């Protein structure tokens, strides 16, 4: 089924493909690779129905190719991978990329690319990326999962820090999640019926005080220190 689905998608986009999607993604990676390391302050805000979580402050560190660290008291709301916006993180895994079209948004040109996983083991069915054609930076990512959920990531930049965003917004709609609620007692037994709730909301991360290419030492990312700081 996965193979047939991939073939259908590839055939659907083949005739529209006028640019090389792999080359576009390579240019995005090359642009980001100009950043050897960085550190920044980040404020994380969660908005979700029936969930109240105070804004969280953290400090993040990154060093090429894949070292990443978060420092914050009691920081447990997001997995570390969710805050690592490097193209290497977003484009990891085995997939086929297909160029779909060019699109203009706010007088800027974007290349739209589909990413189709080549494995049945991943929960992702399809991802779509909007890439700024001139700046070679990711503008938006939309992902659909096998469970019918969707996740959208919007990137906001300041020209001073390109290719590092000053804000990321994750908007998620994970669909209906089944729960079981007690509704009444009947004939000396508690009657329960399955119900469901829609899990949707957003997480906004605002970055500030960037320090770029300062030569962060490898020992900063020591795993033992990282665990102690994340408690």
pLDDT in tens, 196-211: 556 788 889 999 999 9
Query: How confident is the model over 141-159, as a mean pLDDT?
Result: 90
Q: How many domains does the chain have?
A: 1
Give domain status of residue 13, yes or no: yes
Give domain status of residue 109, yes or no: yes
CATH of the domain at 55: 2.50.20
- The confidence band for 72, taking pLDDT boundaries of 50, 70 and 90, is confident
- Percent of the chain exceeding pLDDT 70 equals 74
Give domain status of residue 161, yes or no: yes
Query: How confident is the model over 29-52, as a mean pLDDT?
Result: 90
Q: Does the bond joining 163 to the residue before it have cis omega, within 30 degrees of 0?
A: yes
Cβ-based neighbours of 163, under 8 Å, separated by 6 or more:
31, 32, 34, 35, 135, 136, 137, 157
Give domain status of residue 197, yes or no: yes
Q: CA-to-CA distance for 190 and 184, rounded, in angstroms?
A: 6
Give domain status of residue 227, yes or no: no
Cβ-based neighbours of 51, under 8 Å, separated by 6 or more:
201
Q: Are 97 and 21 in contact (CB under 8 A)?
A: yes
Give domain status of residue 225, yes or no: no
Q: What is the pLDDT of residue 167?
A: 96
- Whether residue 184 is predicted with pLDDT greater than 50 in this model: the reply is no
**Domain enclosing residue 18, as ranges:** 2-220
Give domain status of residue 77, yes or no: yes
Helix (H/G/I), strand (E/B), else coil: 213: coil
The residue with greater pLDDT, 174 or 220, is 220
Q: Are 147 and 124 in contact (CB under 8 A)?
A: no
Query: How confident is the model over 32-55, as a mean pLDDT?
Result: 88
Q: What is the CA radius of gyration of the chain?
A: 21
Cβ neighbours, 10 Å, residue 213: 10
Tokens for 84, please give them: 């690592």
Give domain status of residue 133, yes or no: yes
Q: Edge-to-edge strands of the sheet including 150-157?
A: 67-71, 56-63, 37-48, 189-212, 165-186, 150-157, 138-145, 124-132, 108-117, 95-105
Q: Are 21 and 127 in contact (CB under 8 A)?
A: no
């Amino acid at each position: 089924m996965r193979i047939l689905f991939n073939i259908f998608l590839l055939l659907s986009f083949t005739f529209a493909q006028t640019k090389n999607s792999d080359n576009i993604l390579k240019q995005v990676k090359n642009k980001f690779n100009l950043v050897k390391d960085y550190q920044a302050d980040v404020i994380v805000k969660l908005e979700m129905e029936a969930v109240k979580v105070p804004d969280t402050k953290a400090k993040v560190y990154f060093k090429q190719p894949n070292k990443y660290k978060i420092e914050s008291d009691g920081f447990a709301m997001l997995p570390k991978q969710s805050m690592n916006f490097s193209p290497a993180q977003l484009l990891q895994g085995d997939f086929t990329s297909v160029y779909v079209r060019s699109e203009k948004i706010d007088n800027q040109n974007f290349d739209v690319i589909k990413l189709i996983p080549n494995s049945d083991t991943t929960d992702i069915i399809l991802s779509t990326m909007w890439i700024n054609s001139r700046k070679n930076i990711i503008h938006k990512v939309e992902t659909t999962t096998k469970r019918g959920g969707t996740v959208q990531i919007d990137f906001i930049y300041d020209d001073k820090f390109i290719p590092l965003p000053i804000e990321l917004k994750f908007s998620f709609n994970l669909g209906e999640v089944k729960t079981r609620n007690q509704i009444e007692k009947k004939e000396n037994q508690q009657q329960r019926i399955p119900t469901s709730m829609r899990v949707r909301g957003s997480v906004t991360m605002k970055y500030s005080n960037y320090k770029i290419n300062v030569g962060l030492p490898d020992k900063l990312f020591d795993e033992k220190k990282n665990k102690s700081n994340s408690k």
